[in-house]
Amino acid sequence: MSTVTTLSEPTTLPIARAINEGLRAAMAADDRVLLMGEDIGPLGGVFRVTDKLQADFGSARVLDTPLAEAGIVGSAIGLAMRGYRPVCEIQFEGFIFPAFNQIVTQLAKLTNRHDGAISMPVVIRVPYGGHIGAVEHHQESPEAYFAHTPGLRVVAPSTPNDAYWMIQQAIQSPDPVLFFEPKAKYWQKGEVDPTTPLARLHETRIARTGTDCTVVGHGAMVTTLLQAAEVAQSEGTSLEVVDLRSLSPIDYAPLIASVRKTGRLVVAQEAQGGVSLGSEIAATVTEHAFTALQSPVLRVSGYDVPFPPAHLEGLYLPDADRVLEAVDRTLKY
């Protein structure tokens, strides 16, 4: 076990630093935890999420890899077979597709293929989403590809405290976990309490209670929903904000209970709307809470086009105004 100093008292941190501290705690607790990725060593990654970890744990545990995502994930699969717990960083979400075959045809299926005789404790960290004014392949939301794949767990924290705990819980999982990090919120600060986790890895959380309409999202979208709830409150409408946290599996019970209370639901996501997580959520809630719904479930999403150039991202990405417009429509039924 490492003697590196880890977080011991509640403190205020941005999400990027919270993930860094979570990785540090996981590596200090278990020598089998390795980090792999492009420029994650002395540089600390392009977003500095792995800052100083190579200095603390050495180059044998924090590995700068070639620019070869398929090689990164393939190597992690081999390491997992030998008892290690590798954590891979994909530099930007659009770069994950060279590793897509390794993830969906090997990593996701090896445990089932061997009838449970081996586990695949591999975490793949993926900065995702828009709002950073970047170029093509740097602002996408590919979560649904992986949530659609049996054998993969998919999660997305929205707060520093969740980021700190969920990365450790993901590393402890015996199954492969896609860990989607809302990069637009990397520097959003919040309290991190290292003494005890508030929830398990796959638990949905009620981020704000309300009575008139439920709004649900994940990652960076939760901040947008909370902003919409503030505006709605000033106009006399009470929104209940639900943070999914986990995209596969989805913990539906708190969401369905919320919809049974409010009678209405708006699902929001940055990803395109067609054949999406939002579609699945809308269908499932309609199936299980149909008699409680007072209006159709509405979706707010990115448009069904490739992510646009940076100067148009404000038109593409859902904001509080688009969420509130959907809320107004559902309240009119």
Whether the link from the prior residue into 249 is cis, omega within 30° of 0, is yes
Which residues have C-beta within 8 Å of that of residue 120, sequence separation ≥ 6? 77, 80, 107, 110, 111, 174, 175, 176
- Three-class SS of residue 93? helix
What the block records as the tokens of 225 is 């929903």
Angle at 127 between CA 123 and CA 132, to 5 degrees: 175
Chain centroid to Cα 124, Å, comes to 11
Which residues have C-beta within 8 Å of that of residue 145, sequence separation ≥ 6? 100, 104
Helix (H) or strand (E) holding 218: none
The half-sphere exposure of 161 on its side-chain side, counting CA atoms within 13 A, is: 17
Q: Is 138 marked active-site? A: yes
Phi-psi region of 245 (alpha: psi -120 to 50; beta: other; left: phi over 0): left
Going by DSSP bridges, is the β-strand pair 189-192/11-14 parallel, antiparallel, or unpaired?
Answer: antiparallel
Angle at 308 between CA 40 and CA 248, to 5 degrees: 60
5/265 Cα distance (integer angstroms): 45
48/54 Cα distance (integer angstroms): 12
The single residue listed with the structure tokens 């050495």 is 58
Of 114, 131, 137, 138, the active-site residue reads 138
Helix (H) or strand (E) holding 252: helix 252-262
Residues recognised as catalytic: 138
